[in-house]
Amino acid sequence: MKMIDVPFRLLFSVVIGFFVGRFIDNILSLEVPVFTMIFSALGLVGGIWSCIKRLS
């Protein structure tokens, strides 16, 4: 049963990172979505780390 929530953990962490970055980019009115890319990558890394911790 450990494997059932792995894709959801990964998906939600990336989606949350994406929207946080998008929000910051909109507040700062940036033309290039710098924070969207940064927070999406951080969400991906955090999601992978969470999945590894969950499965070990």
Which positions of the chain have pLDDT values less than 70?
Answer: 1
Q: Which domain holds residue 32?
A: 2-55
The DSSP result for 15-50, as a single string, is HHHHHHHHHHHHHHT-SS-HHHHHHHHHHHHHHHHH
Q: What is the largest CA-CA distance in the chain?
A: 44
What would the two tokens of residue 14 be?
């990336």
pTM: 0.86
The number of folded domains in the chain is 1
Query: pLDDT value at position 3?
Result: 80
3-state SS class at 54: helix
Query: pLDDT value at position 41?
Result: 97
Query: pLDDT value at position 1?
Result: 60
